[in-house]
Copies of this chain bind each other. A is one copy, B any other.
């Protein structure tokens, strides 16, 4: 991406790039924002499509586009899933058969949390606990984080009063998977 050598210029999005994936991968979203800003300048697209699975990346790009008035329309694409609910990812091919068989619990856990919200629960902690129980019941899955954050600011929320996201990341052996569910009050 940078034939002239290292880029001295960095694009950073404060507040959205820290936490969640940013905690595990410091500086990752600065790199993403910088490369995507450059790609937009090189290609000059009218529309750019980003998968919702990487919702933090989507939030970072959206905010960058808004703040810098990049003349591009960001079009989110819903997460594509296997028949059993597992979010599609090239990493899934690296799961062992027994890990692959266990992995759909991530989606089931997140849906259980959403169901609890739909039944009227508004406490983020209580809602997350519904997912946590199913996730921790796995003999293989090592959770990295399970966090309820505001959909726009990505800051932690205690009560679901505006659109939020319950986000999960965890490991099956060396394979790190992420998924999330929107929590719409």
Footprint of B on A, CB under 8 Å?
2, 4, 7-16, 33-34, 37-38, 41-42, 44, 63-64, 66-71
Contact = CB atoms under 8 A, between A and B. Distances in A.
Given A9-B11, A13-B9, A15-B8, A34 B2 contact: no
A33 B8 contact: no
A2 B68 CA distance: 9
A38 B65 CA distance: 9
Contact of A63 (B9, B16, B33, B69): B9
A4 B67 CA distance: 8
Nearest to A68: B38
A121 B49 CA distance: 58
B38 A69 contact: yes
Contacts of A9: 11-14, 33, 63-64, 67-68
A166 B89 CA distance: 55
7 contacts: A4-B66, A7-B68, A8-B14, A9-B67, A37-B68, A38-B68, A41-B69
